[in-house]
Amino acid sequence: MHGPDSSPTERDERASSPLERDRQDGATTGDGHAPEPGSPAGASSDADAAPAPPRQARRTALEVGVVTGVLAVPLVVALVAVRDPAWYPLTDLSQIEMRVRDVGSGHTPLVGLGGRIFGHGTQGAHPGPISFYLLAPVYRLLGSSPWALQASAAVLDVVALGATVWAGHRRWGLRGALLVAAGLALVMRVWGMSVLLFPWNPYLPVLFWMLLLVAAWGVLCGDLPLVPVAVVAGTVCAQTHLPYVGIVGGVTALMAVALVVTHRSARDDGETRRRVVRWSAIGLAVGIVLWLPVFVQQLGGDPGNLGIIVDSFRNPQEPELGLGSAWHLFLQHLNPARLVEADRTLPTPEGPGLALLVAWVASAVAAARLRHRTLGRLHVVVGAALVLGLISMSRILGPPWPYLTLWAYGTAVLALLAVVATVGALAAAAVAARPEALRMAGRPWAPVAALAVAAAVPVALLTRTAPGAEDPDQALSDQIGAVAGPTVEALEEGVVPGGDDGTYLVTWTDPVNLGGQGFGLMLELERRGYDARATDGFARAVRDHRVASPDEADAVIHVAYGKAAIDDARAHPGAEQIAYDDPRTDDERTRYRQVRAELIDMLEADGLDDLVPAVDTHVLTIAQDERVPTEALFGVYVLGRMGQPLAVYTWDPAS
């Protein structure tokens, strides 16, 4: 096909170009039939058997590296921005850091973070600990600080981005890499820096879900080296956050079917069958290793965590969302306006989401008519992800909190990419049908340039906002920073008995933040080398080895949030205040007293006198009480959002 003056590099580039692959995908065999599903036409199924020439491999590495580097720019900018002011993880994030600190010790975690999972009469955890294992190396390398935890999350993001771009490159060369990058850039804006930099378990897997879908696309195309990549990506998702289990399981089953079909269709090709078996075995081995801690805990637990999870779905404590409500939620997540505006809080009419769904169905039909193998398999993956996502949403127990469905934006973006790729294939087919003179007048660089712009624009917009990245609970975090120093000084100066080798029982009273600052201060004391423990009631949150009884402690360090909690702590026998912070202005204090009085008046007017004490002791319980009138909930919200003073006291554990 090429002249004798063509260099090897030129031939390699032509053979790997998207246009050439499109021609291969649309080609037929000599007898007029389309290639069989196991055929390597248009795919990279022979990549493991025939390595790319060195120059082509270097070019691929350069292209993937540059595209990944561009996508990583906003992450780097945001990571620098969040270094100051210091961040102190609260509640779930503090518990995540505790588990990361435990990796490699005698208390290495075997399950994930505790969650709203209740079975066999106890609380369960998310399936597995892989996120803690992956976060630990960079966390320790950078000093085991809260910022090091954020840096570790950013590194995992970049790894996921690079692997996804690489998987796209394996399909359609530079165009495939840029197509995937455009989708990643778009959805990164939707998720925002809080999701990408703070390794909360609903946040950490989002980019790995994209990697799983793109890798699954490759596996369906016969690109066998992507099997273990898909296994790793799926494991990160499914172990880290329970809502991924069903959708990951479905995609995994789809890949397994594709591997079986490929193996059976290659009856006369022994080498292909051996490669399918080899890469399937590698993927299975990787999966067994990654899931081994989960099964070890299940066998040794009483009860095992997997059993708790299963029982929580068999005997749910909250009602399922149901297919009808899930359908409306599903269409809201498909709304292209949310993707373009990068605003998950936008009003959510269902029409645009339905339009994208219809456009995807039409593009899937068009790809089938084009007999475009690679594109057709992309649509199969998208279709599976959409169906699995709808089923997963219908199985949500209790309120459908937004963090439960963050993965759905990744699915929506992949559907959008499939539509764009199909339109591009239709346009390429139309150009190819023109007279030779018109085809020669085409601009082969135009699609690459368009995709590069489509990726660069959202990256630039995200980078512009990245310097403003901060912890959503930064005000509460700042209070930990304000009281941590005086608390440590009290320990060093002997105001709190025990010294460097003492055991300190950290307790807290917090009517608003679920004890977030108590967890945060306990963790900060541990970072500074002190043996800080919690009471037995928090064993599942902090783990058993961080629990102590009063008779095992040298002193109690008590964290009190809010005026009522501070008054109670001050009245405790032998209590001594060692730290205090009140960030409010005089006007804010006045506003707080006013809203508090109005809320109490509303409750009393409705005969809810029994809830009045909760205004100061546990305001969240008021919001959960169905008797509370809607107008009173505004006061609950205001009190919950307004800052309050924080104080730290110490007293004798025996008092």
Residue among 88, 117, 10 at smallest CA distance from 485: 88
The CA distances from residue 381 to 139, 158, 258, 375, 645, in Å, are 35, 23, 11, 10, 52
* Distance between CA atoms of residues 524 and 79, nearest Å: 21
Judged against a pLDDT cut of 60, whether residue 40 lies above it is answered with no
Judged against a pLDDT cut of 50, whether residue 17 lies above it is answered with no
- pLDDT digit string (tens) for 281-296? 999 999 999 999 999 9
Q: Across the strands, what pairs with 558?
A: 507, 649
Percent of the chain with pLDDT over 70: 90
Segment 539-566 mean pLDDT: 95
Burial of 348 (0-12, 13-18, 19+ CB in 10 A): middle
- pLDDT digit string (tens) for 427-448? 888 877 776 655 544 566 778 8
* Distance between CA atoms of residues 436 and 459, nearest Å: 38
Judged against a pLDDT cut of 70, whether residue 125 lies above it is answered with yes
- Tell me how many degrees the CA angle 377-269-285 measures, rounded to the nearest 5: 65
Residue among 287, 286, 303, 304 at smallest CA distance from 295: 304
Q: Regarding predicted confidence, which is higher, 177 or 22?
A: 177
* Distance between CA atoms of residues 201 and 403, nearest Å: 10
- Tell me how many degrees the CA angle 327-331-333 measures, rounded to the nearest 5: 120
Asked if residues 166 and 64 have their Cβ atoms less than 8 Å apart, the reply is yes
Collapse the DSSP code of 523 into the 3-class scheme (helix H, G, I; strand E, B; otherwise coil) and give the result: helix
Please count the residues of the chain.
655
Please give the pLDDT value at position 25: 40
Average pLDDT, the chain: 89
Segment 228-243 mean pLDDT: 98
Least confident range of 42-46, 254-258, 441-445, 456-460:
42-46
Residue among 636, 562, 642 at smallest CA distance from 599: 636
Judged against a pLDDT cut of 80, whether residue 633 lies above it is answered with yes
Judged against a pLDDT cut of 50, whether residue 4 lies above it is answered with no
Residue with tokens 């994930």: 112
Residue among 630, 621, 641, 595 at smallest CA distance from 613: 621
Segment 23-50 mean pLDDT: 37
Please give the pLDDT value at position 13: 37
Q: Across the strands, what pairs with 397?
A: 320
Q: Regarding predicted confidence, which is higher, 537 or 30?
A: 537
Q: What is the separation of C-alpha 391 from the centre of its chain, rounded to a whole number of angstroms?
A: 20
Judged against a pLDDT cut of 90, whether residue 27 lies above it is answered with no
Judged against a pLDDT cut of 50, whether residue 36 lies above it is answered with no
Judged against a pLDDT cut of 70, whether residue 620 lies above it is answered with yes
Q: Regarding predicted confidence, which is higher, 350 or 248?
A: 248
- pLDDT digit string (tens) for 295-308? 999 999 889 999 99
Please give the pLDDT value at position 118: 93
- The rounded radius of gyration (Å) of the Cα atoms in the chain is 28
Please give the pLDDT value at position 52: 67
Q: Regarding predicted confidence, which is higher, 95 or 588?
A: 95
The CA distances from residue 432 to 12, 18, 376, 441, in Å, are 21, 13, 20, 12
Asked if residues 153 and 199 have their Cβ atoms less than 8 Å apart, the reply is yes
Please give the pLDDT value at position 43: 38
